[in-house]
Structure 1
Amino acid sequence: MPGRSRSAVVAGVLIGAVLPALYEAAVGAMVRHNARRLAEGDLEPQLRSYADDVRFIFPGRSSWAGEFRGKRAVEKWLQRFVDAGLRIEFDDVLVSGPPWATRVCLRFHDIAEDERGETVYENEGVIYGHVRWGKLTRYMVFEDTQRGEEFDPYLAERGI
């Protein structure tokens, strides 16, 4: 190791190993925090994590489907999510890449219950997204879209 001390090399290796793990933990904590706040009806933490020009894609033919561009368009979708009584929990949060080009993959399950506490909707899937400097720029949901279509009549009866 000409020109470098052994301690400098060890420090470099430790920083290279520790910083990505800390970044992954921070992103995971933020995702879970935002999901808890969303379940409480508070959209603001989630909206703060979006770039102004965020692009959100929800495939399928249900009333949830579409491509939403911009923070305000996604906000309307999220408000409907809250109004429908949906709660999302993340089973796994995978983070890869540096802060300026981060990819996230979130394994989730979501559920809605009626006023008696009976499950009226349940699904699971994956959200894949891109984050740049702490702001979500693009994401797409992959889940059983047929379940979303089956949930639509229940929502329509309630004006949601």
Structure 2
Amino acid sequence: MIGAIIAQQKTREKFAARNRGDIDAFLDNWAENATFIFPGQSEMSGIFHGMSEIRPWFKQFRQQFPQVNFEIKQIFVGRIWAIGATNELAVQWNTTLWNRDNQKMQGEGVTIVHLQKGQLVLAHEFIFDLSPSFFQANQPAAH
């Protein structure tokens, strides 16, 4: 149970860093060879392998959406009794984002996280608002 409490607290800290735009703090426990999966058919969608692809993705996301707010609804821990640093988590969230053109986008989703030896090795996001407004706001700003 202590492991679950620690995992939940760390997850809240990571999402707070993501909201602040502190990419370094958000990614500081990601494994060098981690995988990140972002859904959909936008320019941001895809499977990104290793920090050489993941870090630029989050920087680009922050440039596209200078103001973000992820509100955690629930955190599910796969093995609540695990004290070790290997576990799975599901984070259910609501988000409000504003792109560079000040278009507001809202959505909800789940991020599935796999941790091994204290490092994040896989993060897979699922977004449940796939309306046309989501895709329009997710395109690069016109300048």
SS in 2 for 1:73: helix
Does 1:149 pair with 2:131?
Answer: no
Question: Who is 1:96 aligned against?
Answer: 78
RMSD: 2.3
Bigger CA radius of gyration:
1
User: CA shift at 1:100, angstroms?
Assistant: 5.1
Identity of aligned pairs, percent? 19
Partners of 1:110 and 1:124 within 8 A in 2: yes
2:74 touches 2:91 (CA, 8 Å); kept in 1? Answer: yes
Map 1:104-115 → 2, pairs under 5 A: 104-113=89-98
Change (3 A) 1:119 1:93: farther
Q: Is the 8 A contact 2:85 2:117 kept in 1?
A: yes
Find the aligned partners of 2:95 and 2:52 in 1 and give their Cα distance: 23
| Residue correspondence of structure 1 range 8-27 to structure 2 within 5 A | 21-27=1-7
2:57 aligned with 1:77: yes
How many residues get paired?
A: 136
The structure with the largest strand share of the pair is 2
Equivalence for 1:132: 116
More helix by share: 1
In the alignment, which of 33, 58, 62 is matched to residue 42 of structure 2? 62
- Once residues 85 and 62 of structure 2 are traced to their aligned partners in structure 1, the CA distance between those partners, rounded to angstroms, is 30
How far the C-alpha of 1:120 sits from its partner, in A, is 0.8
Q: Which runs of 5+ in 1 are unaligned?
A: 1-20
Q: Which runs of 5+ in 2 are unaligned?
A: none
Q: Secondary structure at the match of 2:120?
A: strand
| Alignment correspondent of 2:19 | 39
Match of 1:3 in 2: none
- Asked which structure has the greater RCO (Cα within 8 Å, sep 6+), the reply is 2
Q: Deviations over 1:55-80 (max 9, x none)?
A: 01112101220000012311112112
Superposed displacement of residue 50, structure 1:
0.5
TM-score (norm 2): 0.82
